[in-house]
Structures are given as C-alpha cells and as structure tokens.
Chains A and B, each alone.
Chain A
Amino acid sequence: MSEQMQTIDNPRTAVKPPNPRLKNAKIAYNKLKKNKAAMIGGFMILFFIAVAFIGPYFTPYAPETQDLVNKLQPPSADHWFGTDHYGRDIFSRIIHGMSITLYIGFFSVAMGATVGVVLGMVSGYYGGKIDTVIMRVMDVLLAFPGILLALAIVSVLGPSLNNVIIAVAIFSVPVFARIVRGSTLSVRKLEYIDAMKALGASDFRILFKHILPNIASPIIVQATLSIATTVLTAAGLSFLGLGAQPPMPEWGAMLSDGRNYMYNAWHVAFFPGVMIVLVVLAFNIFGDGLRDALDPKMKE
C-alpha cells in the first residue's frame, strides 16, 4: 500500500512511463493465480507446447515405422502405449501428433478470430445495412452444427490437413463476430469514441486503436475456449477420414484406426482418445479461469 502511495505522490518516481498494459496484465495474472483449476490448465498447455516442440527429438521409435511382427502389442516397457495394427509405436505417434493437434488449434483459431474480429467490429461500429448483411451471413453459418459445416467445407475443398484448418477457421468466425459485435456496440457509444470523432480521427484509427484494445479480453477468452472446440472438431474430421491422411500421426485418425480393434486391443483407441480429452480439458479450464481473471467486475 505504502509503495503504491509513493508512486502516486512522488513526482520523481512517476516520470518513468509505466507500461499500462503490463499493469493490467499483472492484475489479471494475480487473479488467475488464485484459480487452481485454471493454473493447472495453464501448466498443462505449457507442457503440451513443450512436448510439441521438443518431444519429436526424443521419441523411442519413428512414428511411421511399421513393425508387423509386433502389431497390436499391449503397453509394455518397450512400447509404453503399445503398438497399432501396423506395429507402429503409439507413444511415439502421440508425441508427434501433439504438434499437429496444436498446429491445427492455433492456426485455425488465429484465422477464424482475425476474420471474425474484423467482421464483428465493422458490423457493430457501422451498424445499419452492413451490420444486417454480415450478421445474417453469420447466422447462416451458426445454424449448421460446427462439425457438419466443417464436413461440408472439407468435402468441397478435398480432404487434407490444411483444408481442415480452413474449414474449422470458417466455422469459428461467427462465434468471434458475434462476441466482438456485441462488445463493439457497448464501446462505440462511449464518450471517448465521440471525442476521437470530434478530433477528426479516421474510422480505422478508432476501430483498431480505441475499440479493439478495449474489447480484447472477451476475444482472448473466446480464442482459448475455441482452441478446445477446434481440436475436437479437427480430430472428428480426421476420424471420419477427411482430415490428416495416413500415415500422419493425427490423433483423430489414430482413434479411427483403433476403433476396429477395440475388442482385442483397447489401447490403440484409448491413448489418442485420452490425449484429445486432456488437451481439450486444459484449454477449457484455462479459458474459464482467464474469463474470470479478465472480467473487471469480478473483484478478488
């Protein structure tokens, strides 16, 4: 407390420009620290990212090497998670699949969020006919169940990993557009936006320098939560054979392979399934915690 008083009253300490964003981030981080579930989620995410980057260099087997003699082996000291129907080491495949999963998650959300944020801001800021047109298109996209929409897009574009990313990005656009439109509506009528207009600021400046930073929190939260959905949808598409093509170690595809051997080799489907659940769970609980931490109305 006394430290805080000093910075306010002592001119000399105040001359140094404190970074306002850092200050806000610190408050949010302190709130986040108190939320145990969110912290666990956060550490899991960090761990997954680390595995995705470093893991592939340390796997005991190459992910695509077949060993038909040792096919469908249960978990053992040699094969921690067992082997699949071609005798490939499931543990190694899981490690290699981590980067694919995260790659899909981050890229498709980044693409979807960028498009959604721009559409939402334009829609909320200008209103009128532009708003109506954009939002009706978003409604149409939202009316389809996500997986069905992605399915339709992939079947048009052809099955491949990058097309899955595009498909999943497209279905996450409306979610962002809606959230951003709502936040923009609440901010655009504030007096500081009017003050900027009165100063003759361009719409571009107002949108990206004044509105976007003030609606960033819900976007960050939604992005985190969207990664979870995205991972699940991408795995689903691969499970249906529309995503990653064999022999790529994609978890959804591995799950699909394992399905045929459920009765005599449970582990082939079990481990990819568990990993999908863990990644989705980590992003979900972290996103939930982040939402609470970034909500200015939630006091400690």
Chain B
Amino acid sequence: MQKELLKVTDLEQHFPIKGGFLGRTVNHVKAVDGVSFTIHEGETLSIVGESGCGKSTTGRAILRLDEPTGGQVEFKGKDLLSFNKKEMNKTRKDMQVIFQDPYASLNPRHSVFQILNEAMEIQKVVPKDKREDRIKELLETVGLGAHQMHRMPHEFSGGQRQRIGIARALAVNPELIIADEAVSALDVSIQAQVINLLKKLQRDFNLTYLFISHDLGVVRHISDRIIVMYLGKIVEIADKKSLFENPQHPYTKALLSAIPTATTGKKKERIILKGDVPSPIDPPTGCRFHTRCPFATELCMKETPKLRTTDSMLGSHQAACHYMEQIESGEHQPTR
C-alpha cells in the first residue's frame, strides 16, 4: 500500500464578487466546489480540464497562496489549513510550485544566483558557505551550466527560465511539487525536454507531482493518475490507462475525443459539445454538466451525482454520473 502524502477533502474556493453599495459582497465565484482527492508518495497526479474549471485554483488553494474558503488539506497527516503563518511557512519547505509563465515567475532584477540563494536562505536548508556549491549542483541537475550562475533572467530563453524555476523549487528539497501548467507556455520541443527533466527528477529525488494542465497529450505522458475537472468539481478520477481506454463520464469522453490522432483511415467519432461552459458564479443545479451533456435528463438537473465506481471500472477508477451503466450498456441514448 502506498503512503498518502496529501489528502484534500471537500476543498472549496469561493471568491467574493464585490459590488453594489460600499463594495458589499454581492455573489461568489465558485471556482472550486467540493473537491476531494489523495496523492500518494512518489506518484504523479494530474488535473485536467478546460480553462476556468478550477484546476489552478485547486493548486493555489493547497499551497494556501489563496486562502481556501472551505474543506481540509492534510499534508503528511497534518492539517495545513489549521497552521498559522509561521508553521505554514516552515511546511512550505516540503511543498513547492512551478509556475506557468517563465517570464513572470522570476524576479527580473535578481540573478540566478540570487534567486536560488534566497530560496535556501528563507528555508535555511543549506549553510551559507556551502550554498554556492549547491547552486552549481542544482543548475547542473536541471541541465544548465554552473557558469550561468550570475546571469539575469532576461539572458535566458523560456525553456531555460523554466529550468531555473524548477531549480528554485528543488533548492529546498521538497517532497511535493505542484506544477501549475508548467509546460504550457513553452513550445512543443522544449515541452518534451522539460517534461523528461521532470520525470528524471522524480526518479532521482523521489518527488511527488501534482501536475495541472489542459494538455491531454502532456498529461498522458507524465501521469500515473488523472483527475478530470469541470466547473469546480471532479467528474472523473482514474489511473492513466483506465481513463484513456475506458472513460466513463460523458464529459471525459468528449474531452478525449478532441485529441487529434495521427492515424488515417479509421475515422474517430468526435463528440462535439454544444454551448459554452456555464458561469461558475451561478453554476447549474444538479450535475453541473447537464446543460451540455447529450445524455442529460430531469434527474441530472435535480440531483448532484457523486463519485462512484461501477462494475466496468478497474481499481480506483471513479466517475460522477447518474447514468454510467446505462450509457455503457446502450440502454440510455442521447436525449438531444
């Protein structure tokens, strides 16, 4: 049995919308609404979904970069949300983040040396006189040269900057790294390099990743397990193989059908969803996908489906749909 590293229970992030008289809160953006999952030590768990489905917000809430409005986050058995600022800052040593935009994630006025040195200084992981050696080592670990130590961020390319960001995250020897769209801003060939680097680092340092991405190809390459999110809720969670070969939720199916294939001849059925993602300010009742789901019925409008397993699912595969079995057996046909 694998050890649990991070356990998220009913995480909720509702951002207030200020407006009206004297800036009162008029409504909330329900960016993340009751998300629960567990990450085991040494695995890569990915979160995929469209823009605005709450995947990045989930990552930020776990790190308490934005204070979540509800739920629990347990890291190595300790409740992170109950920590005060000081305790939290100490724990941050064990959980680091890699950001999406390599041009915004490095302070333009600090050299690589200053950036990495500061990370170690804050968490006091390496004594002062050994930091320079450690920085050289870190740079080499992420595929940069020690001679580049004193350069400024603007002297590097996007891919190199992302490597610096990774080195900064590694500088404090974390156990969990949350990669928030870490390769989305890079072009495809660089993406591959950075992903392979992340995989290598995972093997070498026994890292655990929470990998947030909208790119199914990337996710397929790097993940052990995958969470599919839609409008602030998890619709399906499964190991990589089950999800790609045996998707159960109609949304997952639609999402997967959008992956372009290289094979010609065999025509793939493309599920095209109608309409737009509804607003998270006022999400649909019941199943949040019912406004666009081809199989939706009255039940879907009324009752929120829970994550559950059916007979056709393997392992820890779970999905949140009322009609999984019926759709699978062909009993339940598209209603529109």
Interface residues of A (CB under 8 A from B): 8, 11-12, 14-18, 20-21, 23-24, 190-192, 194-202, 205, 209-210, 213-214
- Asked if B65 contacts A194 (CB within 8 A), the reply is yes
Contacts of B184 in A (CB 8 A): none
Known: A192-B104, A195-B165. A18 touches B123 (CB 8 A): no
- Asked if A205 contacts B122 (CB within 8 A), the reply is yes
B307 to chain A, nearest CB (A): 29
- Asked if B100 contacts A191 (CB within 8 A), the reply is yes
Q: List 28 A-B contacts (CB under 8 A).
A: A8-B155, A11-B145, A11-B147, A14-B147, A17-B113, A20-B111, A190-B104, A191-B100, A192-B105, A192-B107, A194-B60, A195-B97, A195-B99, A198-B65, A198-B95, A199-B92, A199-B96, A199-B118, A199-B119, A200-B89, A200-B90, A200-B123, A202-B89, A209-B118, A210-B107, A213-B109, A214-B107, A214-B108
Interface residues of B in 34-85 (CB under 8 A from A): 60, 63, 65
Q: A17-B113, A20-B111, A199-B118 are in contact. List 8 more A-B contacts (CB 8 A).
A: A11-B145, A14-B150, A17-B150, A198-B63, A199-B172, A200-B89, A200-B123, A201-B118
Contacts of A14 in B (CB 8 A): 147-148, 150-151
Contact of B65 (CB < 8 Å), options: A24, A197, A210: A197
In the complex, residue of chain B having the shortest beta-carbon distance to the beta carbon of A193: B107
- Asked if A200 contacts B93 (CB within 8 A), the reply is yes
A213 to B110, CA, bound (A): 10
Contacts of B109 in A (CB 8 A): 20-21, 24, 213-214
Interface residues of B (CB under 8 A from A): 60, 63, 65, 88-90, 92-93, 95-97, 99-101, 104-111, 113, 118-119, 122-123, 145, 147-152, 155, 165, 168, 172
A231 to chain B, nearest CB (A): 32
Instruction: Classify the interface of chain A: helix, strand, loop or mixed.
Output: helix
In the complex, residue of chain B having the shortest beta-carbon distance to the beta carbon of A16: B150
- Asked if B101 contacts A191 (CB within 8 A), the reply is yes
- Asked if A15 contacts B147 (CB within 8 A), the reply is yes
A23 to B95, CA, bound (A): 35
Contacts of B92 in A (CB 8 A): 198-200
Known: A14-B150, A17-B111. A199 touches B122 (CB 8 A): yes
- Asked if A198 contacts B96 (CB within 8 A), the reply is yes
Residue of B63, B88, B90, B119 with most partner-chain A CB within 10 A = B119
